[in-house]
Chains A and B, each alone.
Chain A
Amino acid sequence: DTGVSQDPRHKITKRGQNVTFRCDPISEHNRLYWYRQTLGQGPEFLTYFQNEAQLEKSRLLSDRFSAERPKGSFSTLEIQRTEQGDSAMYLCASTTGRKGISYNEQFFGPGTRLTVL
């Protein structure tokens, strides 16, 4: 499968625990995005990387959230001291980011569903 992959697909944790999710983008894509989707809502942008550089973060990304893309390939999203309000689907997307093109299609992964008890 050459699409975007995410691991784990489901995570159940207790409030106060730390969790880490992984995203593997399509291999030649240099841009990677994280979105969060709560029940009954559309995806909300969290942060994005171009290669290894984190270029923008949403105000939704509190200081308990941190994302990395150390070698410009896979990315991790860590949530520290989880709260029940963190329960959501966390989506990763990637794209080529080719210059001179106004929009490069974002390809989404299957998501990681987080449940905080």
Chain B
Amino acid sequence: AQRVTQPEKLLSVFKGAPVELKCNYSYSGSPELFWYVQYSRQRLQLLLRHISRESIKGFTADLNKGETSFHLKKPFAQEEDSAMYYCALKGVSNAGNMLTFGGGTRLMVKP
């Protein structure tokens, strides 16, 4: 069975502070991990995927297979980063590409 855990429901930081949104997963094989974001009144959208190893809007995430984690980080938070963030997993054997999502973390960046 595959599972994604986001331990924090809410993370509140001040503008300019570093941000780390935690994500842990459980999967017996080698998964693909993603971060999705939902800004206020907008639809869910892909932020980044571990395979791409890219930085999007200043966010990065490294897959740590030893710790089964895929934490999302940004060195200096901006007010426009305030949103719901969901970590998601796709099993490699999953031909249908269905995603298993975590419960989400609401990031609030205060001025």
A108-B99 contact given A41-B104, A102-B32, CB 8 Å threshold: no
A72 within 8 A of B: no
Cβ of B98 and Cβ of A103 under 8 Å apart?
no
With contacts defined as CB atoms under 8 Å apart, how many contacts are there between chain A and chain B in the complex? 59
Cβ of B51 and Cβ of A103 under 8 Å apart?
yes
Cβ of B97 and Cβ of A106 under 8 Å apart?
yes
Interface centre among A33, A102, A106 (most CB of B within 10 A): A106
Interface size on B, residues (CB 8 A): 24
B29 within 8 A of A: no
Shortest beta-carbon distance from A71 to chain B in Å: 20
Interface size on A, residues (CB 8 A): 28
Residues 95-117 of chain A, each 1 if its beta carbon lies under 8 Å from chain B, else 0: 10100001111111111000000
Cβ of A45 and Cβ of B98 under 8 Å apart?
yes
B56 within 8 A of A: no
B9 within 8 A of A: yes
B57 within 8 A of A: no
A40-B32 contact given A31-B97, A103-B90, A106-B46, CB 8 Å threshold: no
Cβ of B49 and Cβ of A33 under 8 Å apart?
no
Cβ of A45 and Cβ of B46 under 8 Å apart?
no
Cβ of B101 and Cβ of A43 under 8 Å apart?
yes
Interfacial residues, chain A to chain B (CB-CB below 8 A): 3-4, 31, 33, 35, 40-45, 48, 50, 55-56, 91, 95, 97, 102-111
Further pairs besides A42-B6, A103-B51, A108-B44: 10, Cβ < 8 Å: A33-B98, A35-B101, A40-B103, A41-B104, A48-B96, A48-B98, A55-B96, A56-B96, A103-B32, A104-B97
